[in-house]
Every structure is written in structure tokens, then in C-alpha cells.
Chains A and B, each alone.
Chain A
Amino acid sequence: MLVAISVDPPEAGAALVEKLCLTFPLLSDPDGAGALHPYGTWNAEQGIAFPAVVLVKPDGEEAFRRDSRDPADRAPEEELLTAARSLDLDPVEQQPPHPRNPRPGQKAFALPGLEPFFRGVGSGAKHLGGRIEAAAEEAGLLAEEAERYAEAAHARAAQGGS
């Protein structure tokens, strides 16, 4: 089961669920008191969450955790999936989210802007990786990730919506 948490209000989460056709819930922790502070992911300087992934076992214990410096530093999906598979649990069907009163945040990308944004991220990462040898590997991974996101954004935009 997957869930995502940010400081955005529920209606911004509803807008994102609809925009990206997400199949998991988006939770709202506006002041960080519910989960961000207790999990140590509160970015006090910006009043938002630091990117992180935590896998919690049925007994409430932590099975996997990866804290990131920024969104370009996220754990590869395969690391999380490997940790989840190692728990040897029966598969479950996640209940779909139920967005209500969708209202995107002021900085939210409109759907048509997502693909060019990620193409730009990928292009910038490739160029920097080519110029800075010490960053080449990480930049290459980011470029690959951005390309996958761009393709996903393209496919979603082709379905229509905003």
C-alpha cells in the first residue's frame, strides 16, 4: 500500500490525483505536526517536507527508509520494491482515492507543462553530467528518471484533461 504526504491542503491533493490519475491517497499535513515532524522530514526553512520514503511493516516497525536532499535525489523505485518484496506479504488491492473539491495550488503545473518541464530537467542533467565528471553518474540517473517522467506526462496529457 502506498500513500503520499505533503503540506498541501486536501483540495490540492484532489487536483493532483485527478491531474495524474493517481491510484493512491494524498494526505495533507499543513503544519507538519501530524507526520512530518514525527518522522523527521520537516523542512523548517521552507515549511514543506523533505523528500523521503519510509516503508512501515504491519507490526509498525520500519522496514526501509531513504531520506533525500531534494526531489532529484529520491530512492530508485526498485530499492523500495525490493524491501517490500522481502517482507513476503500477500498482495493487497489498494482502494482508489476519492478526490473532492479539486483546486490546484498556485505553483502547480498545468498538465501540458509537465512534459516540457521534465524534458528540460533531463536535458539540464545530461549537460551538467557531461561537464562535471564527479556528478556524471548521478546526473545520468536523474536524466533517465526525468525521461521516464516526461514519457508518463506525455501519455497522461494524450488522455486529455488539465
Chain B
Amino acid sequence: MPCPDFTLRDEGDQPWSLREHLAGNAVAIVFYRGDW
């Protein structure tokens, strides 16, 4: 089953989507608690 796609805002407040970055690439997603 494919991983869920998503589009979120990045540190520059720009949209970043998983699918767009998977073209020929693997993407490692790190989930973290934040507030560091």
C-alpha cells in the first residue's frame, strides 16, 4: 500500500509535497516532537 501523500508548509512557508520529491528519489521522513 503506498504511503500517504501530503503537502505541508516548509521553513520558508512554501508548499512541499511528498509526491513531487519522490521522482527517482527515496525520501526519509523524520517525525519529531518540535519546539527545539
Residue of B nearest to A95 (CB): B21
Q: Would you call the interface of chain A mostly helix, strand, loop, or mixed?
A: loop
Query: Is there a chain B Cβ closer than 8 Å to A134's Cβ?
Result: no
Number of A interface residues at 8 Å Cβ cutoff, please give it: 61
Between B23, B26, B27, the greatest number of chain A beta carbons within 10 A of the residue's beta carbon is seen for: B26
Asked whether A108 lies within 8 Å of B2 as measured between CB atoms, the reply is no
Asked whether B27 lies within 8 Å of A100 as measured between CB atoms, the reply is no
Asked whether B22 lies within 8 Å of A71 as measured between CB atoms, the reply is no
Number of B interface residues at 8 Å Cβ cutoff, please give it: 33
Contact with B along A22-58 (1 / 0, CB 8 A): 0001111100001110110101001011111111111
Residue of B nearest to A6 (CB): B34
Query: Is there a chain B Cβ closer than 8 Å to A7's Cβ?
Result: yes
Residues of B within 8 A of A71 (CB): 32-33
Residue of A nearest to B14 (CB): A98
Residues of B bordering A, CB below 8 Å:
1-14, 16, 18-19, 21-36
Q: List 11 A-B contacts (CB under 8 A).
A: A4-B32, A6-B32, A10-B10, A28-B8, A29-B6, A34-B6, A35-B29, A48-B33, A49-B34, A54-B3, A100-B11
Residues of A bordering B, CB below 8 Å:
1-8, 10-14, 16-17, 25-29, 34-36, 38-39, 41, 43, 46, 48-63, 71, 80, 84, 87, 89-90, 92, 97-101, 105-109
